[in-house]
Amino acid sequence: MPTKKVQAYPYTSGYPGLLWNVHEHKKAELLGLTVDNQHNAAETVQIYDGFDTDASKAAATGATQAAEYLKLSGVTSGLVRLQVTVPAGETVKLGKDDLEGIEFLGRATAVGSALSSDCVIIAQYRLI
Amino acid sequence: MIEVRPVQTIERIAPATRILLVNHWVKFSNKFPDSLDHVKGKAAQILKQQQVDYQLSWTIKENCYKDINLSNEDTGEKLYPDVADNLYEVTIGFKPGNYLCHVFFPADYPIYRLDYPDMSTLISSDSLKYLGAIKPSDSPVDNPIFKLYLLYKLKPVILRLYADDGVDYEKITLDFSINRCLMGFGTPPQQITPKPILYLDEIKWLAAG
């Protein structure tokens, strides 16, 4: 099972909190998440799902539905699939039962509320 | 000494092949149009075959659809044979998701429909969008049963992929297994029953072959 460790980065630009990249033909399941916050303040971690859509047509009207760029436009243009707030000095572990059913269509990126190398985020995931 | 033992009942089940293999025979219906006279009413033996796997994916907003043209037209996915002697037996498996697939042949004419007028799929209708729709569970990637026979010069087959309500966005992945068959036209031996290949219109209208 792939695992990725990152530290808490607030979003500025780029993808410093990248957990896994988008796969052309696969979705992803988050199977485990650990947030070990030894920072001196509470840290809120959001996991973003970034993907671009294909142009399509609205079923009701047949009108063109333009492509949307929830990946290309930056991390925070994506969808927040999970958010957890961890008090200072504590660790939160979410397992398969907590995360069941959370599905990612594209790139997963962790975004923290404050920059800290003392707040570590570890994700286990599976591409399906 | 008397030996009593039950009659042996060993069932031997011959493995059934799910794709065309070398030396298999096919017979194309007489209902194929004249524009496909290279196969119309003819029988052919499979001389060579090769399986090619391919995947395609699209991410679509909910309650929206995308038409996928399988033909070799400029806007198509180029999954048709490019020579008259080839037959593509295409098996399509669907990855799980909250979406539907409608099959049109030619464009705007759904293959799966009922007899009563207007009882065909209508993507803007809350009820008729489910009529004749293929769900991912109907032909899953690990046991695909949705199959198309594609020929040179066949009109485009259109797959209308619809992301159903309730999921914001859906990633739709189709797993194609293309069995490229080289055909040799002729008369099958008497003991052979060729596999009938119907024209898609016959399936649509339940016309006799």
* pLDDT at position A89: 97
Q: Any CB–CB contact under 8 A between B57 and chain A?
A: yes
Does B10 reside within a domain?
no
User: Predicted confidence band at A1 (pLDDT cuts at 50, 70, 90)?
Assistant: confident
Does B2 reside within a domain?
no
Beta carbons of B63 and A51 less than 8 Å apart? no
Does B132 have pLDDT greater than 60? yes
Average pLDDT over residues B95-103: 97
Does B192 have pLDDT greater than 90? yes
Does B119 reside within a domain?
yes
Domain boundaries, chain A: 3-127
Give which of A24, A29, A53 to mutate to test B binding, by max B Cβ within 10 Å.
A53
Among residues of chain A, what percentage have pLDDT more than 90? 91
Does B179 reside within a domain?
yes
Does B14 have pLDDT greater than 80? no
Residues in chain A with CB shorter than 8 Å from the CB of B59 are 51-54, 105-106
Average pLDDT over residues A38-45: 96
Range of the domain at B86: 25-205
CA B115 to chain centre: 22
User: In this structure, are residues A25 and B173 in contact, taking their beta carbons and an 8 Å threshold?
Assistant: yes
Average pLDDT over residues B14-29: 90
What is the distance in angstroms between the CA of the first residue and the CA of the last residue of chain A? 12
Does B187 reside within a domain?
yes
* pLDDT at position B209: 46
| Residue range B69-93, pLDDT digits in tens | 999 999 999 999 999 999 999 999 9
Tell me how far apart the alpha carbons of residues A3 and A125 are, in angstroms, rounded to a whole number.
Answer: 7
Beta carbons of B60 and A53 less than 8 Å apart? yes
Q: Which residue of A has its CA nearest to B167?
A: A103
Encoded tokens for B170: 């859906």
Q: Which residues contact B154 (CB under 8 A, 6 or more apart)?
A: B36, B71, B80
Beta carbons of A59 and B58 less than 8 Å apart? no
Beta carbons of A24 and B57 less than 8 Å apart? yes
Does B120 reside within a domain?
yes
Does B69 reside within a domain?
yes
* pLDDT at position B143: 93
Q: What is the dihedral of CA B177, B178, B184, B187, to 10 degrees?
A: 50
Beta carbons of A53 and B59 less than 8 Å apart? yes
Residue A23: C-alpha distances to residues A73, A91, B56, B116, B172 (Å): 18, 30, 12, 44, 13
| Residue range B46-64, pLDDT digits in tens | 999 999 999 999 999 999 9
* pLDDT at position B7: 66
Beta carbons of A57 and B65 less than 8 Å apart? yes
When mean pLDDT is compared across A17-26, A106-115, B13-22, the lowest value belongs to B13-22
Q: Which of A27, A56, A60 sits opposite B124 (nearest CB)?
A: A60
* pLDDT at position B208: 58
Residues in chain B with CB shorter than 8 Å from the CB of A57 are 64-67
Does B202 have pLDDT greater than 90? no
Average pLDDT over residues A99-124: 96
Encoded tokens for B131: 């009529």
Beta carbons of A55 and B129 less than 8 Å apart? no
Q: Which residue of A has its CA nearest to B63?
A: A59
Q: Which of A56, A68, A106 sits opposite B65 (nearest CB)?
A: A56
Q: Which of B57, B64, B170 sits opposite A57 (nearest CB)?
A: B64
Residues in chain A with CB shorter than 8 Å from the CB of B123 are 59
- In B17-139 the beta strands, taken as DSSP E runs, fall at 25-28, 43-61, 64-69, 86-94, 99-104
Does B36 have pLDDT greater than 90? yes
